[in-house]
């Protein structure tokens, strides 16, 4: 540890985003980077706390104080080695993780300026690729085969770990490219798809077989494998069953996001099937990250206006007594997409979709609701107020989350990981779930417990 008082003299410095007027004209990544000197300075702000709550908050169990110290000292390869012991894909989490670690940083509590852990993580992994620290390795084989169904973050993590444990791993992916939600659900302006390809190429070079465009029925798994890992995610979006739902121009959020990513990948769509926000008044129903991604995508497509509505009340700004440190704070979040242009409304429920004579949506009747606190501290009750209005909308995107998949009863050699096991969650939790599944599979096949492999 360099200077335990560095946080007193060095302020938190974020890399920030490209200017709005620049970034809304393309789908390039919006986040910028600091130079090497600035990045090392930011790492020096870590106090190496006696009880590192950042480590406690990370689903992967990352050890920020250790890699921050190495980064501060300019020992980039050592920082990478520490980081890769717990995280298979820092290039993903360093870009799209909400950084649970930072919200639990002691400096978040003390001065509301936590260490830039996520950005430092991204800098370390990119330096590792740039400097050639990451090279394909070979691993001795144990003669056993494992099939992984699904190549999202959980499937990739499970495959990566199993391969390093010596198993012959085949990953089956129903889509034409590897990546799952990373590929088709996350916009390019948050995660360039070349980042996924770069990692997949290394995994292939290390012996993993990817079979794309190969749908697998999980109730009829392919023969010839000693164990299976089901990482099929959760694709059934929560619907809005109100009058007018069958009107044209109403889509699930993931339909738009996946199509846009395919367009950027070179796939063509006909005029009727193309979901395009150009010159349209877009209404996003749902206030989470997926809704935010729809806002950014709509603005880049040239929407006339974008409005986001949420049935829940507006969260507190800055601090919420109900979720004290070191818990994840339930407070108002403003994403880069929100900054690009969006009207945000809360405590609104949707009553019905309104359509034109030719069957296209042109508006949504919404009603203000009031939330009544529960006397026993449970979930508050929603009460309609009777205050109704019509919001103009000729493109509606439903971003209200996903339903938890219902899995059949599997044989003892079949394991489930990621969103397929838990329901929709964070990428970092999916990676952790994939790593845990790999350990469980290895324990099942060898009757021993082996730690994850760097």
Helix (H, G, I), strand (E, B) or coil at 71: helix
Which tokens go with 246? 């069958």
C-alpha 364/C-alpha 48 separation (Å) is: 52
The arithmetic mean of pLDDT across residues 239-258, rounded, is 98
Chain mean position to CA 155 = 14
Among 92, 79, 265, residue whose Cα is nearest residue 191: 92
pLDDT in tens, 102-122: 999 999 999 999 999 999 999
CB 434 within 8 A of CB 413: no
Helix (H, G, I), strand (E, B) or coil at 251: strand
Q: Which range has the worst mean pLDDT, 283-297, 351-365, 440-454?
A: 440-454
Among 326, 290, 324, residue whose Cα is nearest residue 308: 290
C-alpha 190/C-alpha 194 separation (Å) is: 12
The arithmetic mean of pLDDT across residues 224-236, rounded, is 96
pLDDT in tens, 311-337: 999 999 989 999 999 999 999 999 999
322-358 in b/e burial notation, b at 16+ Cβ within 10 A? eeebbeebeeeeebbbbebebebbbbbbbbebbbeee
Which residues does 393 contact at the CB level (< 8 Å), separation at least 6? 281, 282, 283, 307, 361, 362, 363, 364
Residue 2: pLDDT over 80: no
Q: How confident is the model at residue 377 (pLDDT cuts 50, 70, 90)?
A: confident
Helix (H, G, I), strand (E, B) or coil at 240: coil
Q: Which domains does the chain have, with CATH numbers?
A: 6-131 (1.10.1060.10), 145-235+403-446 (3.50.50.60), 250-398 (3.50.50.60)
CB 137 within 8 A of CB 89: no
pLDDT in tens, 186-198: 999 999 999 999 9
CB 348 within 8 A of CB 369: yes
- Give the full edge-to-edge strand order of the sheet including 381-392: 348-355, 361-372, 381-392
The reply to whether omega before 411 is within 30° of 0 (cis) is: no
Burial class (CB in 10 A: 0-12, 13-18, 19+), 162: buried
CB 148 within 8 A of CB 155: yes
**Residue 278: what pLDDT?**
98
Chain mean position to CA 391 = 30
Q: Which range has the worst mean pLDDT, 61-70, 258-267, 368-377, 421-430?
A: 368-377
The mean pLDDT of the chain is 96
- State whether the Cα torsion 444-446-449-451 is positive or negative: negative
pLDDT in tens, 126-168: 999 999 999 999 999 999 999 999 999 999 999 999 999 999 9
């Amino acid at each position: 540890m360099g200077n335990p008082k560095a946080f007193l003299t060095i302020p938190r410095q974020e890399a920030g985003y490209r200017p709005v007027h620049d970034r809304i004209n393309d789908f390039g990544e919006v986040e910028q980077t600091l130079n090497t000197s600035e990045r090392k300075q930011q790492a020096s702000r870590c106090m190496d706390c006696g009880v590192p709550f950042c480590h406690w908050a990370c689903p992967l169990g990352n050890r920020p104080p250790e890699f921050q110290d190495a980064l501060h000292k300019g020992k980039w390869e050592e920082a990478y080695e520490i980081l890769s012991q717990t995280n298979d894909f820092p290039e993903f989490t360093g870009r799209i993780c909400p950084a649970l670690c930072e919200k639990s940083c002691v400096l978040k509590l003390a001065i509301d300026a936590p260490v830039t852990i996520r950005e430092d993580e991204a800098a370390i992994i990119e330096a590792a690729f740039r400097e050639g620290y990451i090279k394909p390795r070979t691993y001795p084989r144990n003669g056993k085969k494992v099939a992984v169904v699904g190549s999202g973050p959980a499937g990739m993590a499970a495959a990566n770990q199993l391969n390093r444990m010596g198993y012959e791993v085949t990953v089956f992916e129903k889509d034409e490219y590897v990546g799952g939600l990373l590929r088709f659900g996350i916009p390019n302006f948050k995660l360039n798809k070349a980042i996924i390809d770069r990692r997949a190429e290394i995994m292939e070079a290390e012996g993993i077989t990817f079979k794309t465009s190969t749908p697998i029925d999980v109730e009829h798994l392919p023969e010839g494998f000693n164990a299976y890992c089901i990482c099929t995610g959760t694709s059934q979006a929560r619907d809005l069953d109100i009058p007018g739902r069958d009107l044209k121009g109403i889509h699930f959020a993931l339909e738009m996001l996946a199509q846009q990513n395919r367009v950027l990948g070179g796939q063509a769509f006909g005029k009727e099937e193309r979901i395009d926000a150009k010159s349209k008044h877009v209404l996003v129903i749902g206030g989470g990250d997926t809704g935010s991604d729809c806002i950014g995508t709509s603005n880049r497509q040239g929407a006339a206006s974008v409005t986001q509505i949420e049935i829940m009340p507006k969260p507190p700004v800055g601090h919420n007594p109900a979720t004290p440190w070191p818990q994840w704070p339930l407070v108002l979040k403003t994403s880069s997409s929100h900054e690009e242009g969006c009207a945000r409304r809360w405590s609104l429920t949707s009553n019905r979709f309104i359509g034109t004579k030719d069957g296209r949506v042109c508006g949504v009747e919404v009603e203000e609701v009031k939330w009544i606190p529960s006397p026993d501290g449970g979930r508050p009750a929603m009460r309609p107020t009777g205050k109704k209005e019509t919001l103009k909308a000729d493109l509606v995107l439903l971003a209200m989350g996903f339903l938890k998949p219902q899995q059949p009863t599997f044989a003892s050699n079949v394991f489930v990981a990621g969103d397929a096991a838990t329901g929709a969650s964070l990428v970092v939790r999916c990676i952790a779930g994939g790593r845990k599944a790999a350990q469980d599979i290895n324990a099942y096949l060898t009757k021993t417990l082996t730690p994850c492999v760097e």
